[in-house]
Amino acid sequence: MSNDVTTSDGGAPGTPSTSRRRALLVATGVAGLTGVVGLAALGGLAARDNDKSSGPKRVAENHVAAPQNASDAGKKADEEDKNKDKDGRDRDDWDPDGEDHGKVREVPCDDEELVEAVDLANRGHGGTLKLAENCTYELNVKDRKFGAALPEIKQDITIKGNGSTIKRDSEDTFRIFRVVDGGDLTLKDLTVKGGNATEFKYGGGGPQVPGGPVMGAPSNGAPGGGPVMGAPAAQAAPAAPVGEGPGSQGPGSQGSGSWDKDKDKDKQGEGDGGALLVERGGSAHLIKVKLTHNNAEENGGAIANFGRVHLEDSKVTDNHAREDGGGIFNRGVLKVEESHIDNNTAGANGGGIANGNGKNDSHDPHSYGPNSTEQNSYDKKKKDKHDEEAGTVEILGSVKGKDTIQSTLSDNRAGKNGGGLFSSGGFVTISFTAITGNTACENGGGIYAENTELKLDHVKVAKNHADENGGGIVNTGGKHWDYPNDKQEATATISDSEIVDNTAGRFGGGIFNGEWLVKVEDGFTERRNDKDDNATLTLRDTEIKGNTALNGGGIFNNKGKVTLTNTRVTKNTATDTAKLHRVAGGILNNEGKVKLDDKSTVTNNDPTNCAGTVKDCFN
């Protein structure tokens, strides 16, 4: 709904003052949401309720009513302005219990009313929107300035869902929410469904033809027929002529004249965040929220975060990203508390969560070296594009008395690395969480951490699978072929945890630590002139049991350092039947260092415990 007014000759008037704008909104029926409505405006609202489809007629009727009520409404608005506090909020609207903030608006079960309410909250000083109970708000039009169905969040806005759903219901593709610098969005008791972020071009003259839904998502965002790995990509929309940027509308533009599209797209891509995009300087807090069946042409099927995001008692399920982060993509600060990131898929890295982008396109086990196809396939442009560091991820469950409330990262799938979680740089802390049933088509079925500081405490990593290395966990870092030699050390500390029943097609059924470039032939390839990978793994009070791989069923350490304290490695299996090199079901150490303390044991592994590669480990 438009609230614009024009002069008698058709020209646009100057920007009205705050009180004058409020008066006009009152007169046209918009401020009816706040309880101040003229009789003529009430008539317009009644007409709207009787016939929702008569949008243009309703606007016209309200404009006719405006001159009759503007004078009285203006006086009323002036009086109300005097009753505002320093933040511009009405003192009378503050909830004494602190549950609601700012102006509180009831939003009826009408998608246009929802758009209008968000717009009004932005134009004011934020506030709280209370949705109709158990309503489905079906959005079918996007704002082409910033590619979302709802106005971008610029203020402190809370949306209390009351069990309702906000969904995309259109063949057109768009995300649902976008939070810009300075915006703070809180969602409570709400489902957000069917968002579909696709890259679009800013521009002033050419038409924009919407592309189809991304990666096999249903066009209306309905359940069923969810994202399918390998589904055909959506047809890209023709590019509109690109001129100057959209001022404050563009990501990162900050109202700075022309917009560097290529530079900014890599930072906060228009194809990122199917349900929610949080830009730098923005924040979002989700409480009892379900994000489902959302898609992204690039990163973050449900959420792409470049600012701050906190999920509490929420679910991120059945979302898909063509690139990284099937559920969530992060380059900011992400906190996941007592929540579930399950059944998401990524075409590249991080089926559940991706912290940063992947630096390498392939871990081809059959070709290595400076002149190999591994280096030749390395796309320098992509390296430059994704050169920014990852952010911080914290995934927490909790212990309340005798009860443990676990977060879950389960049944996610990545086309490349990190079936459950992928991190390239940054910091990842996980506690009281189950990481189970995830799959990676390359490495790190449960977790793939590269150049990352990784900490796990009271975590169960179980029944994950990687087609190549690290069925449960990969911890790798330092210098790889053609990588800059200035990467931080990779460190992983795992305490009071279980690494059980994971499988890998190649090495490290439970954990792979160190340089991933290892080739099986007559013995292991030795490259003694290479520098150490700087991957350090510390295990305390942890059990590694029942894992399976071609070699190093429990742990495979290649050019890294592993320290075990009061840790058990038992009943793991290596399936390699070759007789020409060492095969260890428990721990296979290749050109690295493994240290066991007196309380650690490596027992009952098949065919051997350590194949003579670890000091103080009995075969």
> Do 558 and 483 belong together in one domain?
yes
User: Among 231-245, 419-433, 504-518, which range has the highest average pLDDT?
Assistant: 419-433
Q: Name the band, by pLDDT with cuts 50, 70 and 90, for residue 10.
A: very low
Contact 456, 412 (CB under 8 A): no
pLDDT at 420: 98
Looking at the DSSP bridge assignments, the partners of residue 449 are 423, 475
pLDDT over threshold 80, residue 2: no
Closest CA to 590 of 526, 543, 499: 526
> Do 140 and 197 belong together in one domain?
yes
pLDDT at 260: 43
Closest CA to 188 of 150, 161, 167, 155: 161
pLDDT at 478: 66
Q: With b meaning 16 or more CB within 10 Å and e meaning fewer, what string describes 418-434?
A: bbbbbbbbbbbbbbbbb
> Do 366 and 487 belong together in one domain?
yes
Q: State mean pLDDT over 267-287.
A: 91
> Do 7 and 57 belong together in one domain?
yes
pLDDT over threshold 70, residue 259: no
Give residue 148's Cα distance to chain centre: 16
> Do 22 and 102 belong together in one domain?
no
- Strand 283-292 to strand 315-317: parallel, antiparallel, or no bridges (unpaired)? parallel
pLDDT digits 0-9 by tens, 220-239 = 333 333 333 333 333 333 33
User: Among 23-27, 86-90, 418-422, which range has the highest average pLDDT?
Assistant: 418-422
> Do 104 and 64 belong together in one domain?
no
In a domain, 617, yes or no: no
Lowest mean pLDDT among 31-35, 162-166, 431-435, 615-619: 31-35
pLDDT at 518: 72
Structural domain total, the chain: 3
Measured distance CA(74)–CA(38) in Å, rounded: 12
pLDDT at 331: 97
In a domain, 420, yes or no: yes
Q: What does the DSSP assignment read for 556-581? A: EEESSEEEEES-EEES-EE----SSS
CA angle 279, 284, 287 (to 5 degrees): 155
Q: State mean pLDDT over 391-419.
A: 93
pLDDT at 577: 83
In a domain, 155, yes or no: yes
User: Among 175-189, 245-259, 357-371, which range has the highest average pLDDT?
Assistant: 175-189
Q: Which residue in this structure is represented by tokens 């004078």?
A: 71
Measured distance CA(194)–CA(234) in Å, rounded: 15
In a domain, 302, yes or no: yes
Contact 35, 25 (CB under 8 A): no
Measured distance CA(573)–CA(363) in Å, rounded: 23
pLDDT digits 0-9 by tens, 579-593 = 767 899 999 998 889
Residue where one domain finishes, among candidates 82, 113, 138: 82
Mean pLDDT, the chain, rounded, equals 75
> Do 74 and 178 belong together in one domain?
no
pLDDT digits 0-9 by tens, 76-106 = 444 444 444 434 444 334 343 446 767 899 9
> Do 179 and 286 belong together in one domain?
yes
> Do 469 and 505 belong together in one domain?
yes
User: Among 27-31, 89-93, 282-286, which range has the highest average pLDDT?
Assistant: 282-286
Q: State mean pLDDT over 336-361.
A: 91
pLDDT at 266: 43
In a domain, 612, yes or no: no
pLDDT over threshold 80, residue 122: yes
pTM (predicted TM-score) = 0.73
DSSP state letter for 69: H
Measured distance CA(574)–CA(489) in Å, rounded: 29
More confident residue, 605 or 83: 605
pLDDT at 200: 53
> Do 78 and 111 belong together in one domain?
no
Which domain range does residue 4 map to? 1-82
> Do 56 and 156 belong together in one domain?
no
In a domain, 227, yes or no: no
In a domain, 218, yes or no: no
Q: What percent of the chain has pLDDT over 90?
A: 55
> Do 366 and 292 belong together in one domain?
no
In a domain, 383, yes or no: yes
Q: State mean pLDDT over 140-147.
A: 78
